[in-house]
Amino acid sequence: MEAKTLFDKIWDAHVVKKVEGGPNVLYIDRHYIHEVTSPVAFLGLKTRGLKVFRPEKTTATPDHNVPTINQHLSITDELSRHQVEMLKKNCHEHGIVHHGLGTEGHGVVHIIGPEMGLTQPGMTIVCGDSHTSTHGAFGAIAFGIGTSEVEMVLASQCIMQPKPKKMRVTINGELGKGVTAKDIALYIISKISTSGGTGHFIEYAGSAITNLSMEGRMTLCNLSIESGARGGMIAPDETTFEYVKGRQFAPKDEEWETTLANWKELKSDKDAVFDTEYTFDAADIEPMITYGTNPGMGIGVTRPIPTTEGMEGSDKTTYLKSLQYMGYHEGDTMKGKPVDYVFLGSCTNGRIEDFRAFAAFVKGKKKAGSVTAWLVPGSKAVENQIKAEGIDKILVEAGFELRQPGCSACLAMNDDKIPEGKYSVSTSNRNFEGRQGPGARTLLASPLTAAATAVTGVISDPRELM
């Protein structure tokens, strides 16, 4: 039998039909929806006179538009409120489970799915959000789709997709002190660029990957899209099974045993061939920070901003435009530059482990007076866990306060916007121009680097303060 990759195995098992000269009709096991990319899809169904085909396979929550303080009050922005209400109405009409604002199940869609055990190994998972790649951490094929495709899934539980190429990124060795999954991701993207993964689906492998917790794996897979890849995945192992076991929607009892036996088969065959392969050494990875306006513009926090030497044409123009936006210059050292805002949260770093790491770092220290810090749990469950573990008290003692769950300052769609010209060290996923607010300047980093920066007020290397 032909050797197959993990990706091949799951993909091939979900192909309903191969369209001649066209894409595959791919069956979708799990569909997540939120308020921004679903209303036009529901409208499309209405126009066509269609019902949702398999409502039990879709789960909804509003996250992009929601405020992260005073969630018990009505949303003040009229358009945001309308979109959030539309999601609830559409779900109610079509029999879709909806975790509304303020409820125990509420949170960022990519955080609540895994928490509830809805995300499982071997599944095909889609959502109208590019960071759906997060769920690949469980050994699932998970990727972001457009609104037309959201409508397809609602109407038929299928989408039409050409099968992507396969890439393997192997990271061997042990990560150094203060180096996290976020740093691995930013390091990979800095090496292969924001288009290096385009047309591919990534499988992450190697000892540095298998040693990651599920939270770390989710952070890494989450950022796969930033390399241009449709998604990233990691073969499920004991860490995965341990995480899934006992969760609300995980298989139970006898079903657990049979399912587990199947999940254990989910790995790439030894001789499987990948279209593209990269191998990196974990020891080369430092705490990373971005200095430009795409996630590929990242460097070790102690390094200087690369110069334009060797660049020409539009490469050089684009690079200089980016530095100009950031207010930085070639050769500048990032460490020590002042920062105005620190954001901990988002589908990238809004999980309990991220809050534990941040809190452990700032314990006994004080937030710098010049820094405004927004600490936003990814879900109500994360918020509850933070309180149960007493992390909130540590944060308060260090001068921080906790907000309520949502996408928050990741994308400048709700009230949490970074003002024009201000610098924000952010644990989120994109540093595009204006991503956190018109004119805002985003520096992507790990929760540890964010914590170190929050207490010093300048870009800092967490290793020096641990």
Site for other proteins in 399-458 (CB under 8 A): 411-413, 420, 430, 432-435, 438
- The letter for the amino acid at 392 is D
Do residues 38 and 60 make contact, with C-beta atoms less than 8 angstroms apart?
A: yes
Cβ within 8 Å of residue 47, ≥6 positions away:
none
Among 155, 311, 360, 465, the residue binding other proteins under the rule CB under 8 A is 155
Beta-ladder partners of 161: 24
Among 70, 76, 103, 148, the residue binding other proteins under the rule CB under 8 A is 148
Measured CA to CA, the distance from residue 232 to residue 166 in angstroms comes to 10
Minimum CB–partner distance for residue 19 and other proteins (Å): 5
Among 82, 88, 356, 422, the residue binding other proteins under the rule CB under 8 A is 82
Which residue lies nearer to other proteins by CB, 74 or 314?
Answer: 314
Among 4, 31, 34, 64, the residue binding other proteins under the rule CB under 8 A is 64
Q: Tell me the window of 78-86, 350-358, 368-376, 444-452 that interacts with other proteins (CB under 8 A).
A: 78-86
- The letter for the amino acid at 83 is Q
Do residues 409 and 373 make contact, with C-beta atoms less than 8 angstroms apart?
A: no
The pattern of x and - marking residues 87 through 126 that bind other proteins according to CB under 8 A reads ---------------------------------xxxx---
Minimum CB–partner distance for residue 208 and other proteins (Å): 26
Which residue lies nearer to other proteins by CB, 227 or 460?
Answer: 227
Burial 334-364 (b: 16+ CB within 10 A, else e): bbebebbbbbbbbbbbbbbbbbbbbbebbee
Measured CA to CA, the distance from residue 57 to residue 185 in angstroms comes to 30
Do residues 295 and 427 make contact, with C-beta atoms less than 8 angstroms apart?
A: no
Of 423, 399, 420, give the one whose Cα is nearest residue 338. 423
Which residue lies nearer to other proteins by CB, 259 or 460?
Answer: 259
Which residue lies nearer to other proteins by CB, 176 or 251?
Answer: 251
Which two structure tokens, joined as six digits, stand for 128?
Answer: 């109208």
H helix runs in 328-424, sequence order: 346-349, 352-362, 380-388, 391-397
Which residue lies nearer to other proteins by CB, 154 or 398?
Answer: 154
Of 105, 130, 376, 125, give the one whose Cα is nearest residue 229. 130
H helix runs in 117-213, sequence order: 147-156, 181-192, 207-210
Which residue lies nearer to other proteins by CB, 252 or 329?
Answer: 252
Which two structure tokens, joined as six digits, stand for 321?
Answer: 């435009």
Query: Which element (helix H / strand E) includes 220?
Result: helix 214-222
Minimum CB–partner distance for residue 84 and other proteins (Å): 10
Cβ within 8 Å of residue 303, ≥6 positions away:
286, 333, 334
The pattern of x and - marking residues 27 through 56 that bind other proteins according to CB under 8 A reads x-x------xx-xx--xx---x-x--x---
Which residue lies nearer to other proteins by CB, 285 or 443?
Answer: 443
Which residue lies nearer to other proteins by CB, 272 or 371?
Answer: 272
Minimum CB–partner distance for residue 149 and other proteins (Å): 7
Query: Which element (helix H / strand E) includes 344?
Result: strand 341-344
H helix runs in 65-159, sequence order: 78-94, 109-116, 147-156
Which residue lies nearer to other proteins by CB, 145 or 181?
Answer: 145
> Can you tell me which residue has the tokens 């390399």?
227
Which residue lies nearer to other proteins by CB, 90 or 453?
Answer: 90
Which two structure tokens, joined as six digits, stand for 123?
Answer: 């599944």
Which residue lies nearer to other proteins by CB, 305 or 465?
Answer: 305
Among 3, 19, 69, 466, the residue binding other proteins under the rule CB under 8 A is 19
**Could you say which residues in the range 322-361 bind other proteins, by CB under 8 A?**
none
**Could you say which residues in the range 288-327 bind other proteins, by CB under 8 A?**
294, 314-315, 317-318, 321
**Could you say which residues in the range 162-181 bind other proteins, by CB under 8 A?**
162, 164
Q: Is residue 17 a contact point for other proteins (CB under 8 A)?
A: yes
The pattern of x and - marking residues 373 through 402 that bind other proteins according to CB under 8 A reads ------------------------------
Minimum CB–partner distance for residue 379 and other proteins (Å): 20
Q: Three-class SS of residue 74?
A: coil
Which residue lies nearer to other proteins by CB, 235 or 357?
Answer: 235
Do residues 177 and 466 make contact, with C-beta atoms less than 8 angstroms apart?
A: yes
Query: Which element (helix H / strand E) includes 292?
Result: none
> Can you tell me which residue has the tokens 């926090």?
301
Q: Is residue 206 a contact point for other proteins (CB under 8 A)?
A: no
Q: Is residue 232 a contact point for other proteins (CB under 8 A)?
A: no
Q: How many residues bind other proteins (CB under 8 A)?
A: 85
**Could you say which residues in the range 245-284 bind other proteins, by CB under 8 A?**
250-251, 255, 259, 262-263, 265-266
